[in-house]
Amino acid sequence: MNKALKHSVTRRVIYSTLASLLIAGLFYGGYSYYFLKSAYETSEASNASFQYGLGELSDKLRASEALNNDLKTLLQARQQEKEAIGQQVQSLSSTVSILDKLSKTDKQLLEKYSSVYFLNENYVPPTLSSIDASFLNRQDKPVQILAGIAQHLADLLNSAKTAGIQLQVLSGYRSFGTQQSLKASYKTVYGSGTANSFSADQGYSEHQLGTAVDFTTPLIGDTFSGFSKSSAYAWLTANAYLYGFNLSYPKNNTHFVFEPWHWRYVGVELAKKLHDENKSLYELDQREIDTYLVKFFD
């Protein structure tokens, strides 16, 4: 074989090989394109169905959430109804207990007495209690007070003692008869004009009620002289209301003579009001006073 022929055969072999490779390449490319395209389409379809499923799921979730909210609202409404009924029952029973308490509380306890309105001369407190002798100015003369307020008075006296104040009780409950003889003795000592101007008259009903106390100190005793300048009076002015006691006849009151020693129990709540407003019981309207009756012994 000559050299030229040899070259021509080699070229043909190369060309045909290249052609085959090109054809194979085209086939492979076409197939790959087709494969990838169908794979892509399949994934598109499944994605769409997944999206659809997801949509359906979130719809169901929304529906169940709405149902849940409805149930919650319903439950809250039931709860509120239940609470409202509970409150009604409670307010009813508290009304019953208030009425019961009121029916057992003597209306006279917060009555305003004056030179024209007295307590019935036969009135006697239901239960009286003796004041501890250590608190009396005259230990040989027992003093009684309305039993229901005895603890409030004991608390007041103990508190004064703790504060280093020498505070004593001179008088508490006085019957109509005792009051009469006391007044008679004042008339003998001071003359009827002077005797009529102080406690023998104005404190009359309050002492018969068993809720009024005449305080004094060991030094002052039963003269009452200078009590308004004593530390005992200053202490009472600042603290007695905490124990339900109120000064019945303060200085410059328009009704009566100033009696710094004479304190009447009116209940803690009313005493606080009077103290805060710097008023005497006699300045308040009786109807307003009566609203405090239910809390009298609290």
Is 206 one of the annotated active-site residues of the chain?
A: no
Q: Measured from the CB atom, is 262 or 273 closer to Zn ion?
A: 262
Q: Measured from the CB atom, is 62 or 251 closer to Zn ion?
A: 251
Burial 78-117 (b: 16+ CB within 10 A, else e): eeeeeeeeeeeeeeeeeeeeeeeeeeebbeebbbbbeeee
Look at the block and give the residue holding tokens 């439950």: 75
Q: Measured from the CB atom, is 199 or 216 closer to Zn ion?
A: 199
Which residues have a Cβ under 8 Å from the Cβ of 109 and sit 6 or more positions away? 209, 211, 293, 296
Q: Measured from the CB atom, is 152 or 174 closer to Zn ion?
A: 174
Which residues have a Cβ under 8 Å from the Cβ of 170 and sit 6 or more positions away? 136, 137, 138, 143, 214, 215, 216, 221, 222, 261
Report the nearest approach of Zn ion to the CB of residue 272 (Å). 22
The residues binding Zn ion (CB under 5 A) are 199, 203, 214, 262
Q: Measured from the CB atom, is 99 or 184 closer to Zn ion?
A: 184
Contact by Cβ (8 Å): 290, 109: no
Contact by Cβ (8 Å): 261, 214: yes
Q: Of the candidates 287, 290, 298, which has an alpha carbon nearest to the alpha carbon of residue 109?
A: 290
Report the nearest approach of Zn ion to the CB of residue 160 (Å). 18
Burial 15-24 (b: 16+ CB within 10 A, else e): eeeeeeeeee
Report the nearest approach of Zn ion to the CB of residue 249 (Å). 9
What single-letter amino acid sits at 32? S
Q: Measured from the CB atom, is 148 or 172 closer to Zn ion?
A: 172
Name the active-site residue from 259, 269, 277, 283: 259
CB atoms within 10 A of CB 273: 18
Q: Is 110 left (phi over 0), alpha (psi -120 to 50) or beta?
A: alpha
Contact by Cβ (8 Å): 22, 15: no
CA trace torsion 42, 43, 49, 53 (10° rounding): 150
Report the nearest approach of Zn ion to the CB of residue 212 (Å). 5
- Positions marked active-site: 259
